[in-house]
Structure formats: structure tokens, C-alpha cells
Amino acid sequence: MDKVIIAKDLSLSYSNNETIINKANFSINAGSFVFITGASGSGKSTLLKSLFGALKPKQGSLVVGGVELKGVSNKRLNFLRRHVGIVFQDYKLVKEWNIEKNIMLPLIINGYDKNVAHNQVDKLLQHVRLKHQAGKFPKELSGGEQQRVAMARALSHNPILILADEPTGNLDDYSSQLIWNLLEGASEQLNTTIIVVTHNIPQTMNIDYKHFHIEYGSIHEVV
Amino acid sequence: MKSFKNHFSLIIALFSILFSIQVFMIVERSIDAYKQNLAKNYTVIVVSQKALSKDDLFGINKLISESDELSAENVIKRLSTGMNKKNVDLLKLSLPKFYKLRLSYYPSSDELKQLRKDLLKHRYITKIEDFSHNHDTTYKLLLLLKGIVSVFSIVVMVVTVLLIFKELKIWQYQHNERMSIMGLFGAASWLRSAVLYRLAIVDALISSALTFVAFTYISSSRWIVEQFEYIGIKVTIFDTLNDFLILLAVSMILSIFLVMLIVLGHKEEV
């Protein structure tokens, strides 16, 4: 099976030089659903940041979607990011754009035809049950609705990989369940690789998943 | 309203710069026109013991562009009352030759000194009158004005550029989040900052158009034209095509350059 992510002796640290992840070795197969857990400050989000190149490896090697992220050029990094969908706990929607334009962002960046992009956004709005909110701006939506918009945006360009950082951290149970359903759907129907950083793995997961745990800078798979 | 205020600040700042550049160009043109006027009317009188050919005079200094011999008839008429013809002929022979020299342009004080030196080196030239003092005062006054306008323009430009930079920093703050989010999805740098460039270009166009309108009005003002007529010079206050293109280029280059600085200074926030 193809590997979407391969980490070899991967070490990550911020500018203060404190090592967050120390010589981690792991790989993730294409199409897998992966949870990364760990205590607060253990380095879960740091690891996720490194997977889309927001933090470059200090030592070792990290290959994502065939792109080596150690010393990666901006051009290669942009190329990788165009094939990745990212979901954040704080949604990161563009405030001055309406919902439709927010979802369309990856399609614009990937140079989709306008009509194709509109049709795709239309489908996704229905899928995340926000068709009636298309013209609204993020501040006019609830947290759960905003996260569904972020999910639709992450799915819009059929990415090879979706990275989600605590996607249900700020949501109530109902909204959380909707987000998990959307992630499960993407994994099952589109065979997208999904990596979710979270404190707690939901009890209601209906699909097979892998579980990595981070502790004291090292990553190990929980079997 | 907030967006309008942002635009307004940049437009006014760019307008100030363009205005000072155009004023500087007008002063420069006025001084050039005055210099040409001076050169046209300005002559140096040379007294020589013997007749000098034009080639002799032109060879002394490159500044000399024309030479005319002044007739000595008036002097002879005044002195010859009661003289017989023989004595008048002798007087004619003993009188020195007078030459009026025109220069290719109005020289600086140093060039004039050098011209005097070169002329006096000639073995037949005994005296020179350059009347420089009369012209020099006005010319030096104009140069002083040019200096003051230059300093003033530079100060205006520096202060305004700093203000623009501050304004663009506010823009950067406003657009930072959107630029970062676009970056997360792989948008190239130009696409992330396209809005900033578009705003800067629109504002540069508006400020150039405002300067165009202002100087078209000023150049058609009767009062302004009269002021230049009083000094005896004709100056193009605003060349509709050339000046507008210069101002447009300056405002475009300046605003795009400042946006580029802002874009290069952008740091991804995740």
C-alpha cells in the first residue's frame, strides 16, 4: 500500500531549540484514518503543523505526499498544500468572505473553472447542510456551522490528505457528531487519508482507524 | 467607511508626493528658462589692442558662441570735434578694438572666472567687462529657491513615505489573516497579496488623476501665467502627457514597491 507520510528520525523544535518531537519514526498508508492523541503540550499540534510544512523538520526526514519537507522550497510546499485540506479548532475562515467564497478558496487556488467550482461548492453546501447559509459571513454562523464550512473547504478540492487539529474542540455534541460523520464519509467514500489530532477519540467511530500517541517527545502506535 | 479611510490616507499621501515632485519640476523649468533668457541677453565686452578674428575669439574658450565688433564711430565722433582729417585717421588707428561676446549658456561664477582668465591670457586683450553682478543676484536667488524647494520636496517625500509605510502596515494587519489562510491552501505569494497590489494600483491611479486635475487647473490659472510673464519667462507648468506619465509612473512604482516590502515582511501565522 502507498505511504502518504513517511517520517524517519524526525525531530521537531521551535526557535527556542527545545525539542518537541525526538527522532520519531512512523509511516501512514494512503486512505487510512489516523488519530494522534497526547496530553496538552505533548506536541500533537506541532507534529500536525510539520505535516503541512508550517514547521520544518530540525533533523531527520519527513516526506508527505512525495514531498520531502526538510529544506523544502516555497514552490514545492505550495504544491503540496494544494493537495491537502486542513481543518483547525478555530476554523480559520476568511471573515470578509461569505461562506460560498470561503469554501471555494482551494478551488480558486487550484485554478478550477468557475462553473465547475460553483457546482462543487453547491454540492458541498448541501452535503454539510448549509445550502441556505451560502451568502452569509462566518460571524453570522454558530461555531458548529463554521466548522462545517471549514470541513467543506477542506474537502472541496478532493485532497489526498486531510489534517484536522482538534476539529471538535469548541463544539457541542451534536455539531461534533456531524463533523465526525463528515470525516468518516470522506475516508470511506473518497478514500482520503485523514489525520486527526484530538484529546479524545470519539466512542461512536464506525470505521477502522489507527491510533498514534505522543508522550515525552516520542510517537508510538497504540494497538 | 473604514476601507474608504484607508484609501483616502494613501491617496492623500501619494498626492502630496506627486504635488511636490511637480512643483520641483516647475522650479527646475523656471530656472532653465531664466538661464536661457540670461544667456540670450548676456554679453561680455572685450577690449583688444589689435583686431581679432572670430576664430581667434572662439578658440579662447568654448563658452563663446558669437562675437561682434563694436563700432568705434561714436567715440571718434565725440573726440574728433575740431580735429583735422589726418588726426582723426591717426586717432582711428590708435583706438583699441571693442568686441561683444555672446555665450552658449549662462555660466556659473567659476566658469565666468575661468572665461575672464582665458581672455586675459590673450596677448592683445587688455580689458574685460562681464556685467555679471547684475544678473548674478537674480540667478543666485533662483538657485536658492531651487535649493529650498528641493529640500522641502525631499522632506515631504520622506515624511509621506513613512506615513504610507505606516498605512500599509495597517493594511498588512488587516489582510494578514486572509493571506495566512490562503497560504495554508498553497496560494502563491502573488495570489495571497493580489488584493494589496490591486488596492495600491487603484490608489496610485486615483492620486495621479487628482494631481493631473490640480495642475491642469493651476496651469490654466491667469494669475500664475501672469506671474511668469512678469519675470519674463515662459514655462510649461504641466505637460499633459509627459508630466502625467512621470507622475503616474512615480506613484505606481512607489506604491507597488511599498506593497512588495509589506508582502516580503509577511509571516505565516498558524
pLDDT digits (tens, 9 = 90+) for A154-211: 999 999 999 999 999 888 998 899 999 999 999 999 889 999 999 889 888 888 999 9
Structural domain including A164 reads 1-83+159-223
Q: Does the pLDDT at position B1 exceed 70? A: no
Q: What are phi and psi of A40, to 5 degrees?
A: -60, 135
Q: What are phi and psi of A53, to 5 degrees?
A: 80, 10
More confident residue, B225 or B83: B225
More confident residue, B230 or B205: B205
Instruction: Looking at the structure, tell me whether residues B110 and B224 fall in a common domain.
Output: no
pLDDT of residue A1: 58
Axis crossing angle, helix A143-155 with helix A114-127, rounded to the nearest 10: 140
Instruction: Looking at the structure, tell me whether residues A26 and A65 fall in a common domain.
Output: yes
Percent of chain A with pLDDT over 90: 84
Which residues in chain B touch residue A54, judged by CB atoms under 8 angstroms apart? 184, 268, 270
Chains A and B: how many Cβ contacts under 8 Å?
46
Helices (H), chain B: 2-41, 54-60, 73-79, 85-94, 109-121, 132-184, 189-192, 194-219, 222-231, 242-264
Q: Mean pLDDT score of chain A, rounded to an integer? A: 93
- Boundary of a domain, candidates B130, B161, B179: B130
Task: Please tell me whether residue B83 adopts helix, strand or coil conformation.
Answer: coil
Interface test with B, best of A76, A81, A90, A156 (most B CBs within 10 A): A81
- Boundary of a domain, candidates B97, B130, B163: B130
Instruction: Looking at the structure, tell me whether residues A4 and A74 fall in a common domain.
Output: yes
Q: Does the pLDDT at position B5 exceed 80? A: no
Are B187 and A74 a contacting pair at CB < 8 A?
Answer: no
Percent of chain B with pLDDT over 90: 32
Are A52 and B184 a contacting pair at CB < 8 A?
Answer: yes
> Quick check: B269 contacting A, CB < 8 Å?
no
pLDDT of residue B92: 76
Instruction: Looking at the structure, tell me whether residues B25 and B97 fall in a common domain.
Output: no
More confident residue, A140 or B199: A140
- Boundary of a domain, candidates B130, B148, B170: B130
Assigned domain for A154 exists: yes
Instruction: Looking at the structure, tell me whether residues A74 and A1 fall in a common domain.
Output: yes
Overall number of domains in chain B: 2
Instruction: Looking at the structure, tell me whether residues B28 and B50 fall in a common domain.
Output: no
d(CA B81, CA B55): 36
Which residues in chain B touch residue A83, judged by CB atoms under 8 angstroms apart? 186
Assigned domain for B269 exists: no
Q: Structure pTM?
A: 0.72
Considering only CB atoms, B185 lies closest to which of A74, A82, A95, namely A82
Considering only CB atoms, A81 lies closest to which of B177, B184, B189, namely B184
Instruction: Looking at the structure, tell me whether residues A40 and A100 fall in a common domain.
Output: no
pLDDT category, A27, cuts 50, 70, 90? very high
Percent of chain B with pLDDT over 70: 97
- Which CATH number belongs to the domain containing residue B110 in this structure? 3.30.70
Instruction: Looking at the structure, tell me whether residues B102 and B64 fall in a common domain.
Output: yes
Instruction: Looking at the structure, tell me whether residues B213 and B234 fall in a common domain.
Output: yes
Instruction: Looking at the structure, tell me whether residues A145 and A176 fall in a common domain.
Output: no
Residues 190-219 of B with CB under 8 A from A: 191
Instruction: Looking at the structure, tell me whether residues A79 and A2 fall in a common domain.
Output: yes
Instruction: Looking at the structure, tell me whether residues A2 and A74 fall in a common domain.
Output: yes
Task: Please tell me whether residue A8 adopts helix, strand or coil conformation.
Answer: strand
Residue among B2, B10, B67 nearest B204 (CA): B10
Looking at the complex, report in whole angstroms how far the Cα of residue B169 sits from the nearest Cα belonging to chain A. 19
Instruction: Looking at the structure, tell me whether residues B116 and B229 fall in a common domain.
Output: no
pLDDT category, B3, cuts 50, 70, 90? low
B176-227 residue pLDDT tens: 889 999 999 999 988 998 988 998 899 999 999 999 999 999 988 999 888 8
Element (H, E) at A153: helix A143-155
Residue among A37, A80, A64, A55 nearest A166 (CA): A37
Assigned domain for B270 exists: no
Instruction: Looking at the structure, tell me whether residues B72 and B117 fall in a common domain.
Output: yes
**Residue carrying the nine cell digits 504544491:** A79
Overall number of domains in chain A: 2
Measured between CA atoms, the residue of chain B closest to residue A46 is B270
Instruction: Looking at the structure, tell me whether residues A136 and A214 fall in a common domain.
Output: no
d(CA B236, CA A96): 47
Cell, residue B120:
586675459
* Cβ neighbours for B247, distance < 8 A, ≥ 6 positions apart: B18, B21, B22, B208, B211, B212
Structural domain including B7 reads 2-37+136-264
Are A109 and B183 a contacting pair at CB < 8 A?
Answer: no
Average pLDDT on B126-149 reads 80
pLDDT of residue B231: 78
- Boundary of a domain, candidates A113, A128, A158: A158
More confident residue, B258 or A152: A152
Average pLDDT on B106-121 reads 87
- Which CATH number belongs to the domain containing residue A188 in this structure? 3.40.50.300
pLDDT of residue B30: 86
Instruction: Looking at the structure, tell me whether residues B29 and B144 fall in a common domain.
Output: yes
Interface of chain A against chain B, CB under 8 Å?
Answer: 49, 52, 54, 74, 77-84, 86, 92-97, 105-106, 109-110
Instruction: Looking at the structure, tell me whether residues B159 and B187 fall in a common domain.
Output: yes
Assigned domain for B106 exists: yes
Q: How does DSSP assign B133-197, residue by residue?
A: HHHHHHHHHHHHHHHHHHHHHHHHHHHHHHHHHHHHHHHHHHHHHHHHHHHHTT--HHHHTHHHH
Are B187 and A78 a contacting pair at CB < 8 A?
Answer: yes
Instruction: Looking at the structure, tell me whether residues A64 and A4 fall in a common domain.
Output: yes
Assigned domain for B24 exists: yes
Looking at the complex, report in whole angstroms how far the Cα of residue A223 sits from the nearest Cα belonging to chain B. 31
Which residues in chain A touch residue B181, judged by CB atoms under 8 angstroms apart? 92-94, 105
**Residue carrying the nine cell digits 461512536:** A204
Task: Please tell me whether residue B126 adopts helix, strand or coil conformation.
Answer: strand
The one-letter amino acid code at B163 reads L
